[in-house]
Amino acid sequence: MPQAYMEETGLEGTGPERTGSGARHFLSREREQWTSPGIWRRGVIVAAVAVLLALLMLLHADIPNKVGNLGSLTETFLPWLGLLIPVLFGLALLRRSATALIALLLPAVIWLNLFGGLLSDKSGKGGDLTVATHNVNAQNPDPAATARALAASGADVVALEELSDASRYERAMADTYKYHAVHGTVGVWSKYPLSDDRPVDIQMGWTRALRATVQTPRGPVAVYVAHLPSVRVKFNAGFTAGQRDNSAAALGRAIAREPVRKVVLLGDLNGTMNDRSLAPVTSQLRSAQGAAGDGFGFSWPASFPMARIDQIMVRGVDPVSAWTLPATPSDHLPVAARVKV
């Protein structure tokens, strides 16, 4: 093709040579941007946001609860703050800012310090008692299917919360669990004998907690089943958790008085292990998920789990493994753990 025609139509240099030249030009321009003094001046806002994020994660315990329980709300979803780190990283690259990239090291290190241990699989083998807990949802459309799924999990002890009609679960689980006890809207089913079962007063006006002694082949274990009050996020009131916090304090006092050395708490606590308001309970017990789980083990909501509010906690026994079970018709996922008694 004639050179004049190529120049007139703009086709000249559209082949590999022009492509290579464009790439070299792009790389040269990027090199200039990253080596110019501007890399320290650009991205100051991104760097400031990174520092604020780091301070929020580092000092979350100092966020006051006096205004809308803002501290507890932050702690409930604290792991999700880590999602802001890759967003800020992308903005730092876009702005070609060394200042922002260095500032991002702060929240990254703090997040890994807080939650990095949950990224690895800490589950082991062995153990001699498998326990599970499930908020079955009062509006569960198929209690029988839920009960069968839990019975098929292989758990030796199963705790259920939010029972609206316990008889439907009793019938469905009778073949697998010889012993059970129900008080109010919570119940416990066991392959081993139960004794000394009784309601636990958590200051709600009706029964949403119980304790029972499970006579395992390795000795007695005190099992607590609890369903603490729900919390809500309201525009005009913030994180309404006052009743939940009072119930947590009452449950903590009951566990502190427990004479049996080996204790397992199963239930929907409507709060995470990070939430300071659950300290009356969490200060006395270990989280099975935190000690022997694989990942965060989020359990609610079942459609897109964002927080682990269904807990298995222990004292005097050693967690070996912890996991979430497949979804049932409930809005919570069941959670299970295997412990060494």
Task: Per residue of the chain (341 residues), give pLDDT as tens.
Answer: 455 444 444 445 555 555 567 777 666 665 655 566 678 888 999 999 999 999 999 999 999 888 778 888 899 999 999 999 999 999 999 989 999 999 999 999 999 999 998 888 999 999 999 999 999 999 999 999 999 999 999 999 999 999 999 999 999 999 999 999 999 999 999 999 999 999 999 999 999 999 999 999 999 999 999 999 988 765 444 455 789 999 999 999 999 999 999 999 999 999 999 999 999 999 999 999 999 999 999 999 999 999 999 999 999 999 999 999 999 999 999 999 999 99
Task: Select from 165, 164, 172, 157 the least CA-distant residue to 224.
Answer: 157
**Which residues, 6 or more positions from 266, have their beta carbon under 8 angstroms from its beta carbon?**
131, 132, 133, 157, 159, 188, 223, 224, 225, 226, 311, 312
pTM: 0.85
With 0-12 / 13-18 / 19 or more C-beta atoms within 10 angstroms meaning exposed / middle / buried, residue 253 is middle
User: Hey, which bits of the chain come out as E strands?
Assistant: 129-135, 157-161, 179-183, 186-190, 194-199, 209-216, 219-227, 232-234, 238-240, 263-268, 286-287, 310-315, 318-324, 335-340
**Does the 129-340 domain belong in CATH 3.60.10.10?**
yes
With 0-12 / 13-18 / 19 or more C-beta atoms within 10 angstroms meaning exposed / middle / buried, residue 66 is exposed
Q: Computed over its alpha carbons, how large is the radius of gyration of the chain?
A: 27
Give the DSSP per-residue string, 63-105: S-STTTTHHHHHHHTGGGGGGHHHHHHHHHHHHT-HHHHHHHH
User: Helix 98-115 crosses helix 84-95 at what angle (to 10 degrees)?
Assistant: 170
Bridge partners of 226, per DSSP, are 209, 267
Decide: helix, strand or coil at residue 188. strand
CB 107 within 8 A of CB 54: yes
- 153-172 pLDDT tens trace: 999 999 999 999 999 999 99
How far is the C-alpha of 307 from the C-alpha of 120, rounded, in Å?
Answer: 18
User: Helix 84-95 crosses helix 44-58 at what angle (to 10 degrees)?
Assistant: 160
Decide: helix, strand or coil at residue 337. strand
Give span(s): CATH 3.60.10.10, the chain.
129-340
CB atoms within 10 A of CB 50: 27
Omega prior to 301 cis, within 30 of 0: yes
Q: What type of residue sits at position 143?
A: P
Query: Position of tokens 């946001």?
Result: 49
